[in-house]
Amino acid sequence: MLILLKKGATDDQVAAVEERVRQAGLTPGLVPGKARTAITVTGNWGEAMIPDVRSMPGVMRAIRVSKPYRLATAEAADARTEIAIGEALVGSDNAWFVAGPCSVDEESRLLETAHYLKSLGAQALRGGAYKPRSNPYAFQGHGEPALQMLARAREATGLPIVTEAMDLEQLAMVEEYADVVQIGARNMQNYSLLKRVGRSSKPVILKRGLSASVDELLNAAEYILKEGNCHVILCERGVRTFASHSRFTLDVAAIPVLKALTHLPVIVDPSHPAGVRNLVRPLARAGIAAGADGLLVEVHPEPEHALSDADQALRYADVASLAAEARGISQVLNRSFGADAD
Amino acid sequence: MLILLKKGATDDQVAAVEERVRQAGLTPGLVPGKARTAITVTGNWGEAMIPDVRSMPGVMRAIRVSKPYRLATAEAADARTEIAIGEALVGSDNAWFVAGPCSVDEESRLLETAHYLKSLGAQALRGGAYKPRSNPYAFQGHGEPALQMLARAREATGLPIVTEAMDLEQLAMVEEYADVVQIGARNMQNYSLLKRVGRSSKPVILKRGLSASVDELLNAAEYILKEGNCHVILCERGVRTFASHSRFTLDVAAIPVLKALTHLPVIVDPSHPAGVRNLVRPLARAGIAAGADGLLVEVHPEPEHALSDADQALRYADVASLAAEARGISQVLNRSFGADAD
Amino acid sequence: MLILLKKGATDDQVAAVEERVRQAGLTPGLVPGKARTAITVTGNWGEAMIPDVRSMPGVMRAIRVSKPYRLATAEAADARTEIAIGEALVGSDNAWFVAGPCSVDEESRLLETAHYLKSLGAQALRGGAYKPRSNPYAFQGHGEPALQMLARAREATGLPIVTEAMDLEQLAMVEEYADVVQIGARNMQNYSLLKRVGRSSKPVILKRGLSASVDELLNAAEYILKEGNCHVILCERGVRTFASHSRFTLDVAAIPVLKALTHLPVIVDPSHPAGVRNLVRPLARAGIAAGADGLLVEVHPEPEHALSDADQALRYADVASLAAEARGISQVLNRSFGADAD
Amino acid sequence: MLILLKKGATDDQVAAVEERVRQAGLTPGLVPGKARTAITVTGNWGEAMIPDVRSMPGVMRAIRVSKPYRLATAEAADARTEIAIGEALVGSDNAWFVAGPCSVDEESRLLETAHYLKSLGAQALRGGAYKPRSNPYAFQGHGEPALQMLARAREATGLPIVTEAMDLEQLAMVEEYADVVQIGARNMQNYSLLKRVGRSSKPVILKRGLSASVDELLNAAEYILKEGNCHVILCERGVRTFASHSRFTLDVAAIPVLKALTHLPVIVDPSHPAGVRNLVRPLARAGIAAGADGLLVEVHPEPEHALSDADQALRYADVASLAAEARGISQVLNRSFGADAD
């Protein structure tokens, strides 16, 4: 059950609705979204009560939702969510183009890459400052200095910055520098982190876990939405299956399925499922063709010098071709891709 | 080890090469392909012997192949295999467009569908006469009468016919009527059937098994090639994973991986992995975008009356949109899709 | 819907019941089982009709079954099916112990192995005469000579023979020599083969396909039962998952699940999922502990000389330990394992 | 590369070894284990250097390890790790028996359950105070009051307490009350949590992630060991596969594989993969039969009143049977199971 309040609903009106819910023996949950205020209702709600609540002052809609993720469900919104990041509007007819190195390493290289990607129409720069690594002895990212390099690259190019945070401490740091916080696949069910990022003012990219169902992904998004951060971008990045010819199996069907189940934008990371460079472009094209709202691609000018994910980073020439192809496919689907290229 | 013979190699020359192989304690296997004759060599072959064989009369190439599927491997061919089916050339820059009902039911409906599909640019008509069904009590296809209806639809429209055979008896019947024999996913490792179809004069669509690796698919193709039928078209149609939001998980990465490993054409069936109508178009677009050499799509004018796979059959309007989208995406990749539409 | 007829039901009584079904607009399917005759009914059957049929002469039971596999379902039987093979009763409180080489190679070795296994309490000898091989150039079994060696081993030891058939031609040959026909995982949905073995007088071991659900396995069994062969033994042999530390993932939960869904015996093959020798014993123990009705184990006196599956064949010492452990675990579960050991 | 120091190695000796490693251009990592001190070495280490280090004062062993998890690898230890928890020695010939409710709810019920389990031979009491829930609106555990109830149950019965912590804050709280900290499957790659629990004085149960490979599980354990907590117990609890007849697929092969790869104890949770009550016992038996060092079982006196996992909680009668069976199977494998039962 979900109650959506009018934009100008007063505190008294909100309190009255909450009180009404409590009287019915149910638990109201106030979601202090910027765009509009919602009250989630937990417990079994008598159908008969809905018309009642609908007529209360300040109430816009009161609906019965069939999914546990009552804020993320498509039923909860009149339109697809569009999230402004820099000059881009993620979730709109313009597919979002984010690219950059897996790990931030050398500053001049990062700057050069950022300028080059911007010239291809990239709308945000991704780069890892904190890296989740299976192997505890592997390179774990340069931390704050990497964030500072990213911030300088933004200053130089105007590109907003996307970077991952893996715990509360990192998140506090990442929020200071980044425009978008990424929650990685391994942390998709790290509920403490989800709740904390739900109280952040920054948009969030939430990556699907390696073996998460679409319902589990949407429930994870709900953990964030429930705390008031309604700027969540879902990201399909491959799932683990028996197939070993690619690192993970890109689940393209998840894209249209998610877009039917939720109003949130859905983007694709083709680099991690590929695992090797020559599969990134086909997977990226497939993602856009399946209706994804954007691409998150790993690029490195000299992959042989990359500190992580060297095998799957696209070279400059590859990413230029990819951008052109994604643009062409988007046009077939009556969309645009990225910003205008130089 | 693979020895390719020149087109005009004489029987004596072939026999001499076979004899040479036997002298080395190895087993020669003559592959009587139409295009050219090949001799596969089983056993450990001394590197030193290759130059020897290369200089024998009638020998075009003698190469060491690293894969068990020595005829299917990309190394075994100078160019991608192109297979003429009606006016189409499967495996060429023109992506093949095959469509039709899951099961053949009513003749006038089949004819109408065939005419309609042709007007959209379809290059072959698919339709099931023999249906593999998990449930032994479910409808198993109309058999020969269905084949006769398909033949009449071909006569009326000029469209070649694609249909499945599940055993030797059905295969004999299918060969009489069809232009292309389909081997279904459940039979991908039915070696007796593969060997028999390897002696057929008809091109074969070989569907990937539900949990087959790409190597296993290529080994299955090798069973066919080894018997002399070099007209094998591979078909990705989804694999079984934990994901339950689509019937199977379309493994788009398998398309570029297969195209790198083999010279054979690789097409996609988006209908079976979808399982529901509204996922077919996104999956079809993803397949073409990933580089597939064609699409095999289930279409029914009134899916509610279909005898099988009613939920996933595209309606007329859907397939028209799909054809337009596939055409557009193909152009982005410097290819064409299907024949010219009306 | 399933109608079970009394043992002494006359032809006229059977015909009358069939007629009654036809009158109701439904399709009767006569299942000529040895033990008792059943009539399967396809179509929607009015509940009201059941009491009617029940009172007809010759009818023992008329029941509504909720599963498509109406003969295999547990509801269709009063007791678990027990199948006499040699002196063993498969499906009883005695867990069946079958062992032998993957491929039959050298006769004296086979005989020695058979004698040794018998001394450990083995109740049947397995051995491959026809081998399904992914690689078309790999050893495919010795064929009829291997069957003859198996028959001589039976003569020498009294052990019944279990061997695989992959097509109709092989099946005709296998039936001449073997006591039990094995249908391999790759052929679990080879419906022509299933139907044909359904008309065989020999008991059948039906192996679960690599990615088959339990319902699909039971539907495959139904294809056999429907033709009148009610002696079907199901075999769990591992499924394909992302886990690569064993060749396949033994799905132990499938054992109790199958035993709840069907009255047919369920055995385990621990050798194929293991893929390496040192995993076979733990998997075999787990299978018996989970309630399996028997074990099918690959054994070779000198695995380094085995023509196939050398890595997973147990040595003599291993199989002796395994038999002792399986016997001990069976006792904990109030069962016995194999015949008495020497 | 791993250097193990003698028990009485002085600070100076340790410092000298570290210095020697640095001189070689490599990075030493001091692991302050209680039992013994280890230095992990990151970087490429010349083989030639090993004899050198071996002869330094205070050094017990210097070995080359082939796995990234150099402390968890079996090569790093002379014997299997045994962890004292209450009167039990986890990893010894006595298989550990832990049981209790999924969530702690009512205190008198918890006490009664604890007494009953103790009478069956249970060696520790499990119970959830903080529950990871996919659905953000579902019951999330009673928190500290639940921990206090658990502590009182320990006081009353003498059973050590096992409970889960999902973030740093919870961990601080859990450490105050519990004897063993559980890290759940969703947090297996929550590296911040792993590092923090690596600095805890409490033993840790680390559950395998839903789609984690055994190498990933061992790398996760390494994150803990590396910080100095050498009391890590691995737990197999099922993986996600296509099979839907059980909630997850218990990967029994992982047990012997892990026991060959690491010196750490490996236990099994049969309740979560089962998902339904009647599969728990067969899976538990299979786990013990495959060689697991213990069982972690959900039990509830009245499952219909359980606040979570009601479907899979064993009733009293079931757990009594399970304990008897596990005891019997353990004896077959020359082990004991749990403490003596009343």
Q: Is the pLDDT of residue D47 over 80?
A: no
Instruction: Annotate D87-99 with b (16+ C-beta within 10 A) or e (fewer).
Output: ebebbbebbbbbb
Distance in Å from the first CA to the final CA of chain D: 49
3-state secondary structure of D19: helix
DSSP codes joined into one string, C3-29: EEEPTT--HHHHHHHHHHHHHTT-EEE
pLDDT for residue D342: 78
Q: For the segment D19-30, what is each residue's pLDDT rounded down to a tens digit?
A: 988 888 888 887
pLDDT for residue B82: 96
C119 and D CB contact within 8 Å: no
Rounded to whole angstroms, the Cα distance separating B29 from B187 reads 24
Contact A340, A327 (CB under 8 A): no
Q: Is the pLDDT of residue C46 over 80?
A: no
Q: For the segment D178-222, what is each residue's pLDDT rounded down to a tens digit?
A: 999 999 999 999 999 999 999 999 999 999 999 999 999 999 999
Q: Please give the residue of chain D at the shortest CA–CA distance from B210.
A: D242
pLDDT for residue C36: 64
Q: For the segment B74-133, what is each residue's pLDDT rounded down to a tens digit?
A: 988 888 999 999 999 999 999 999 999 999 989 999 999 999 999 999 999 999 999 988
A43 and D CB contact within 8 Å: no
How would you classify the pairing of strands A94-100 and A336-337?
parallel
Hey, are the CB atoms on B166 and C42 less than 8 Å from each other? Answer: no
Contact D89, D75 (CB under 8 A): no
Break chain A into its structural domains and give their ranges: 2-64, 83-337
C37 — pLDDT class (breaks 50, 70, 90): confident
In chain B, positions 173-192, which contact chain C (CB-CB < 8 Å)? 186-187, 189-192
pLDDT for residue C312: 86
3-state secondary structure of C289: helix
Q: Taking the CA of residue C320 as centre, how many other CA atoms within 13 Å lie in the half-sphere pointing to its CB? A: 9
Q: Is the pLDDT of residue C24 over 60?
A: yes
Shortest distance, CA B333 to any CA of chain A (angstroms): 7
D44 — pLDDT class (breaks 50, 70, 90): low
The one-letter amino acid at D339: A
Q: For the segment C75-110, what is each residue's pLDDT rounded down to a tens digit?
A: 888 889 999 999 999 999 999 999 999 999 899 999
Cβ atoms within 10 Å, residue B170: 21
pLDDT for residue D184: 97
Q: For the segment C108-130, what is each residue's pLDDT rounded down to a tens digit?
A: 999 999 999 999 999 999 999 99
| Among candidate residues A281, D299, C14, A320, the one with its CA nearest the CA of residue B260 | A281
D31 and C CB contact within 8 Å: no
pLDDT for residue C323: 98
Chain A CB contacts of C246 under 8 Å are none
Hey, are the CB atoms on C222 and B169 less than 8 Å from each other? Answer: no
pLDDT for residue C153: 97
pLDDT for residue D39: 86
Check: CATH 3.20.20.70 for B83-337? yes
A219 and D CB contact within 8 Å: yes
Residue by residue, pLDDT tens for chain A (342 residues) are 788 888 888 889 989 998 988 888 888 887 766 556 788 887 765 566 788 888 899 998 888 888 899 999 998 888 899 999 999 999 999 999 999 999 898 999 999 999 999 999 999 999 999 998 888 988 889 999 999 999 999 999 999 999 999 999 999 999 999 999 999 999 999 999 999 999 999 999 999 999 999 999 999 999 999 999 999 999 999 999 999 999 999 999 999 999 999 999 999 999 999 999 999 999 999 999 999 999 999 999 888 887 777 788 899 999 999 999 999 999 999 999 999 987
Q: For the segment D299-337, what is each residue's pLDDT rounded down to a tens digit?
A: 998 888 877 777 888 999 999 999 999 999 999 999 999
pLDDT for residue C152: 97
| Among candidate residues D237, D337, D341, D241, the one with its CA nearest the CA of residue D289 | D337
Rounded to whole angstroms, the Cα distance separating B61 from B4 reads 5
Rounded to whole angstroms, the Cα distance separating D266 from D253 reads 12
B34 — pLDDT class (breaks 50, 70, 90): low
Q: Is the pLDDT of residue D46 over 70?
A: no
Shortest distance, CA C163 to any CA of chain D (angstroms): 27
Evaluate whether A2-64 and A83-337 have a shared fold. no
3-state secondary structure of A341: coil
Shortest distance, CA C238 to any CA of chain B (angstroms): 13
Q: Taking the CA of residue D175 as centre, how many other CA atoms within 13 Å lie in the half-sphere pointing to its CB? A: 14
| Among candidate residues A248, A219, A245, the one with its CA nearest the CA of residue A232 | A219
pLDDT for residue A33: 63
Among D168, D190, D244, D248, most A C-beta atoms within 10 A, so best to mutate, is D190
B298 — pLDDT class (breaks 50, 70, 90): very high
Q: Please give the residue of chain D at the shortest CA–CA distance from B248.
A: D242
A278 and C CB contact within 8 Å: no
Chain A CB contacts of C241 under 8 Å are 242
Rounded to whole angstroms, the Cα distance separating B211 from B217 reads 10
Element (H, E) at A191: helix A191-197
The one-letter amino acid at C166: M
**C-contacting chains (≥3 CB pairs under 8 Å):** A, B, D
pLDDT for residue C44: 66
Q: Is the pLDDT of residue C231 over 80?
A: yes
Hey, are the CB atoms on D328 and C325 less than 8 Å from each other? Answer: no
**A-contacting chains (≥3 CB pairs under 8 Å):** B, C, D
- Distances, alpha carbon D284 to alpha carbons A186, D272, D310, in Å: 28, 11, 18
Cα dihedral sign, C249-C252-C255-C260: negative
pLDDT for residue A260: 96
| β-sheet bridge partners, residue B36 | none
Rounded to the nearest integer, the mean pLDDT of chain B is 92
DSSP label at B85?
E
C47 — pLDDT class (breaks 50, 70, 90): low
Give the CATH class of D2-64.
alpha beta
Q: For the segment D241-264, what is each residue's pLDDT rounded down to a tens digit?
A: 999 999 999 999 999 999 999 999
Q: Is the pLDDT of residue B266 over 90?
A: yes
Q: For the segment B195-240, what is each residue's pLDDT rounded down to a tens digit?
A: 999 999 999 999 999 999 999 999 999 999 999 999 999 999 999 9
The residue-averaged pLDDT of D7-18 equals: 88
Rounded to whole angstroms, the Cα distance separating A308 from A316 reads 17
Residue A158's φ and ψ, nearest 5 degrees, are 80, 0
Q: Is the pLDDT of residue D42 over 80?
A: no
Q: For the segment D155-175, what is each residue's pLDDT rounded down to a tens digit?
A: 999 999 999 999 999 999 999
Partner residue facing A332 (CB), from B214, B286, B332: B332
**B135: Cβ–Cβ under 8 A, 6 or more apart, which residues?**
C68, C69, C219, C222
Q: For the segment D82-114, what is each residue's pLDDT rounded down to a tens digit?
A: 999 999 999 999 999 999 999 898 999 999 999
pLDDT for residue D60: 87
The residue-averaged pLDDT of C225-247 equals: 96
| Among candidate residues A337, A335, A299, the one with its CA nearest the CA of residue A316 | A299
**What ipTM is given for this predicted complex?**
0.93
pLDDT for residue D304: 82
Chain A CB contacts of D192 under 8 Å are 166-170
pLDDT for residue A217: 98
Rounded to whole angstroms, the Cα distance separating C172 from C129 reads 13
Hey, are the CB atoms on A241 and B242 less than 8 Å from each other? Answer: yes
C250 and D CB contact within 8 Å: yes
Q: Is the pLDDT of residue C34 over 60?
A: no
Among D130, D191, D242, D272, most A C-beta atoms within 10 A, so best to mutate, is D191
**Among B73-82, C15-24, D46-55, D103-112, which is the least confidently predicted range?**
D46-55
